[in-house]
Amino acid sequence: MTQRIWNFSAGPAVMPEVVLEEARMNLLSLGTTGIGIMEHSHRGKAFLKVYEETEALCREVGGIPANYKVLFLQGGASLQFAMLPMNFLTESATADYLVTGSWAEKARDEAQRFGNVHAACSSADKNFSYIPAGCDYSAAPAYVHFTSNNTIFGTQFRTEPTPPTDAPLICDASSDIFSRPLDISKYGMIYAGAQKNLGPSGVTLVIIRDDLIERGRKDLPAMLRYQTHAKNDSMYNTPPTFAIYIVGLVMKWIKSQGGLPGIAERNERKAGKLYAYLEQSRMFHVTAAPDSRSLMNVTFVTGNEELDAKFCSAATKAGFDGLKGHRSVGGMRASIYNAFPEAGIDALIDFLRAFESENG
């Protein structure tokens, strides 16, 4: 087999190797069933067992209370941007959005189609390089939406914002879900496209409180109602069976790493090393404000576009893939989600140091 390289992709992203190995073993036959994991009916006993295990593992790993449903939906986080206001925002009501990056803006834009939107805070003035310290909420928001990790700009909330009483807190956690312990009971709903921290693309994890599901608008098409998916255990239509299976394996892997506390410790160590190098570097500079830096996406520049480009092409040649920054920030971005190995961080730091001494 071709040797695997260091994959810094922002998503779909690197997966734990043990997960890929186990999946490979079950592609032609899931256990002793004689039928591959992708070939089992979603209504059959074998897949239902996979489904139940995956859900139970998500609940265990995430500490998800009994009064929350765990849904496995399709359409990515992007469909949640629309489903959320469709279900919970009415024309005369206002939803509050914390505008801290491009994904947050996209979520806000979808809400504007269905009701009023209030920006409780924004960091657009400095190209989303920081998380605002405070929020100015509207009088009685239908809900408050924030993006816990801003994948493109390399910023991350340290703790949840505190919405006004009674307003459900809704979070797009696509790029940092299960990267650290979280208190689900603070949220009305958390959602995440799987392709960064949970598994392959094609499934979206939605954790939603029962009373919120009940409040959802009833006259929407079936597929766009949380009620439909909750009532049918995410099997109103054919769910993304293979992706759900892989999410289950990733949950087992998280458990083997000490659960969310163990993963969090590892993530802090990984990002800590990289930021420490960049801090003392004379060539590379972190774009995110010190108190807002993401442990998942590390964004940095040299300040010289030609040198950035030279670095990216040298890095690719040396076996570091996916380091080119998003066009709205430029420079470089190292996406180092849960599954990114610590050895890859060490290798990158060695490479940064060598590049700096040759080109400084």
Ligand X SMILES: *Cc1c(COP(=O)(O)O)cnc(C)c1O
- Residues 196, 253, 270, 308: which is the catalytic one? 196
- The whole-angstrom separation of Cα 57 and Cα 341 is 22
Segment near ligand X (CB under 6 A), from 74-82, 272-280, 307-315, 340-348?
74-82
Tell me how far, at minimum, the Cβ of 172 lies from ligand X, in Å.
5
Can the peptide bond before residue 85 be classed as cis, meaning omega within 30 degrees of 0?
no
Give the full edge-to-edge strand order of the sheet including 297-301: 285-286, 297-301, 332-335
Tell me how far, at minimum, the Cβ of 269 lies from ligand X, in Å.
22
Q: Kindly determine how many residues on this chain lie close enough to bind ligand X according to the rule CB under 6 A.
A: 11
Segment near ligand X (CB under 6 A), from 27-35, 61-69, 118-126, 171-179?
171-179
**Of 58 and 296, which has the nearer Cβ to ligand X?**
296
**Of 200 and 352, which has the nearer Cβ to ligand X?**
200
Q: Is 77 in the site for ligand X (CB under 6 A)?
A: yes
Segment near ligand X (CB under 6 A), from 172-180, 243-251, 280-288, 305-313?
172-180
**Of 75 and 164, which has the nearer Cβ to ligand X?**
75
- The whole-angstrom separation of Cα 58 and Cα 51 is 11
Q: Is 175 in the site for ligand X (CB under 6 A)?
A: yes
Is residue 338 within 8 Å of 179, Cβ to Cβ?
yes
- Residues 103, 176, 270, 324: which is the catalytic one? 103
Give the full edge-to-edge strand order of the sheet including 144-147: 68-73, 204-209, 189-193, 169-172, 144-147, 94-99, 116-122
Is residue 6 within 8 Å of 347, Cβ to Cβ?
yes
Is residue 26 within 8 Å of 36, Cβ to Cβ?
yes
Tell me how far, at minimum, the Cβ of 173 lies from ligand X, in Å.
8
Pick the binder of ligand X from 103, 128, 277, 320 (CB under 6 A): 103
Pick the binder of ligand X from 172, 198, 205, 277 (CB under 6 A): 172
x/- contact string, 183-212, with ligand X (CB under 6 A)?
----------x-------------------
The answer to whether 6 is a known catalytic residue is no
- Residues 96, 172, 176, 308: which is the catalytic one? 172
Nearest CA-CA partner of 299 in 331, 271, 340: 331
Pick the binder of ligand X from 155, 174, 287, 299 (CB under 6 A): 174
**Of 11 and 154, which has the nearer Cβ to ligand X?**
11
- The whole-angstrom separation of Cα 166 and Cα 186 is 11
CA angle 10, 12, 18 (to 5 degrees): 110
| H-helix or E-strand spanning residue 237 | none
Pick the binder of ligand X from 87, 100, 123, 151 (CB under 6 A): 151
Is residue 200 within 8 Å of 9, Cβ to Cβ?
no
**Of 205 and 264, which has the nearer Cβ to ligand X?**
205
Q: What does the chain come to in residues?
A: 360
Tokens of 289: 């404000």
Q: Is 76 in the site for ligand X (CB under 6 A)?
A: yes
Q: Is 147 in the site for ligand X (CB under 6 A)?
A: yes
**Of 118 and 326, which has the nearer Cβ to ligand X?**
326
Nearest CA-CA partner of 320 in 296, 336, 304, 306: 336
DSSP H stretches of helix in 216-257: 226-231, 241-256
Q: Residues with catalytic annotation?
A: 103, 172, 196
Chain residues in the site for ligand X (CB under 6 A): 11, 76-78, 103, 147, 151, 172, 174-175, 193
